[in-house]
Structure 1
Amino acid sequence: MILSANSLSPYLRFRVRMAHQAMVQFVASFASSLGYIMLGFGQVLVGLIACLALPGLFAATRPWPQALGLFAGQALLASAPVWLLRKRLLPEQVLLWCRPLPIPARGQWIASIAVAGIIIVPLSMAYALSTAIWLYQWPDWLRPVAPQAVLLTAGSLLLGWIVSTLVLARRCRMPAAARLHAHRPPPAPYVPRVPSLQRMAAASLPRRAWTALHHWRQLFWLPFWRAENVVGIQQTVLLLGALLSIAVWLWRPPSVPPTLWAANAALLLMLLTDRGDKAVTEQIALLRPVAAAWPVPIENLFRFARISALLPGLAVMAWFALLTLGHLGRASSAGYSTTVATVWLCFAGVAQVAVISLRRLSVNGRVGLVISSIIILIAIGSELWN
């Protein structure tokens, strides 16, 4: 029996409360990174807020093809928070529970609109503040098209709300049934092969290492890239950003002070290891109850996974060492000090190990460790060209 119109409100209240709880959890998890963000981007935070509404305002001064591109980009930017938080706003367990229920499509659409509005309304306040900043500055290019610019900004927010609603509605949709391949072999009885502990102990060292690497890939590497998990993408972006920052830092373009790139490299390097270690710790907490009965030395695998969180940071440090110490003959002509580069590498290595090994620190203690490491790395890096 389909739920009546009067019974839509409980589902709507459930979705709204779940969205509020998701936002509270997100803010709580975001609080540990707030210190890093304020350290790296605190001075330009007002400028970033002012730039939120700039594409929509500037679109009114451009020809319609460029204006359409800016308008669409602004709408996608407005819908990005809902897309990034879709797993928190509508978890997989809730989807599995809700899909068999006789909830009308109208109720799901109303709930998706309301949940998207919970995210869009605070974002609209930030856009309003950004628009007010530009209207207060009143530049020459904005004066002839101010009404159209404000309408385009409001329209981009409305379109972002619509796109956000579609993102949530698509997540609520029942997935299509999997199609079986025509040449799929017929099912056969499954006979499990459980390796004994004696055979595992008697295995050679290379074989055990290969087995541990295979288990690490299956339990830690692949989950970070599957099921809408953003850890793999997050770590890749941080890694590429750190490598690029170091390259530009040593390239030393005249338009930007080298200390700024040194600060960016230190910030991304420490965030890379800190976020990676946090993701591995959460995955271990998820696997520990299940893996307790597995016939494998699971604690050794967990220890190996924690150590593997150092690999991206070591790659960044190796890149820095290659660009500085790898060209010792060019150090004098380049103008930087190899002694300072060595000290930077040594302290960066100690900081990376400290983030991984000091696991009993509180949240504030860990934030203090990372921030102090970033500050010291910036101080050392500022002496590279002296």
Structure 2
Amino acid sequence: MKAHYPVLLTAMMAAEGCSSDHKSDHNQLETAQTQAAGTFGHDLAFLKKYQEAVVLSAPDNAEAQAIVIPAYQGRVMTSTADGNVGNSYGWINYKLIESGQYRPHMNGFGGEERFWLSPEGGQFSVYFKKGQRFDFENWQTPALIDTVAYKAIESDASSVKFQIDAMIENYSGKTFVIAISRKIEMLTKENMADLLGLPAFNGVKAVAYRSINSVTNKGEEWKPETGMLGIWLLGMFRPSDQTTIIAPFSRALSEKPLITDDYFGKIPSDRLVIKDSILFLKADGKHRSKIGIAPKSARNVAGSYDAGKGILTIIQYDLDPQGRYMKSTWELHKDPYDGDALNAYNDGKLADGTQMGPFYELESNSSVKALKEGEAITHRQSTFHFEGDKAALNAIAQKVLGVNIDQIGEIFK
């Protein structure tokens, strides 16, 4: 009998191990489902209840994660630098997702980077039908960038790629036959340092991902007189009374900064400050306001800082200072190719007192080209989040955005 004891003991230990593993898995799931609101674990459990969720992790850091939803056009819903217990950076429209219902005009599911097409308004708009007035009743986000799911064609632990073929018509009656490709890939700390021109950084937790977006012309040649399409990436983030958007601009090609700040009326001076080639916009989600920076004045970076939580967010995107960009204001345009390269938006109540958010947005646009059949435009954007030691955050902010962390926190006091 003694000869059988080791075998029996091993079997018992294996069984106990399996039971322990099962309990561990169950506990981890239970923990994720009961994480506090505002954490990545909470948002992951919520999203998994309603949609397929692709969770990506950085190759060099399992705690740096992002959630991508194929049903929402491959958008990045949120990310974190610290696993399930960490802050969740993207704004999510819980009520809309929970309802399971589509809304008229647009489905604002949220997400910290989504794929859209430009232009929104004007004679080449893809949001208004030919001959319609440019008003809210007629405005309709195309299903292609609102409710259509994108198919994942490649994926691994740190990246996923989507592709879809489509047709879309603009206000002038031009039909575009296109193929859309979108890839999201997590970045290592070395990637982050290289892209932002930083030395190896310590004292902060960080997460970053890059999206590579292409639109290929599969039909007739695009012509300026009948319209073109641009790639438009929009990120929705959580606002706070201590959050400020930072948009540095350049004077190299235009001494006077080419900034639009009256999309929804003039922004009050206690909410918008322009100082030393940097634009500061309050991002508290309490006053509807939007700015745009033309390509000749824009820089290829922008960001935000939440002084309360100590979270620094940066976007870096492809920029062509001499390029043509689609204009999206709701009117016929004298020059439809005189649009913005960068936009930022702070949510607030509408005239009827309703509000989708609160949230704030950082947005980048691609330049456009008269594509021949088989040619493509590509637009890349990288999104970075840093939190931790204030001195380390300050070094990143100064290097990338040209601003001191304390200055950001004090600008609207």
TM-score for the superposition, normalised by structure 2: 0.17
Larger Rg: 1
- Higher normalized contact order (CA 8 Å, seq sep 6+, divided by chain length): 1
Between Structure 1 and Structure 2, which shows a larger proportion of strand residues? 2
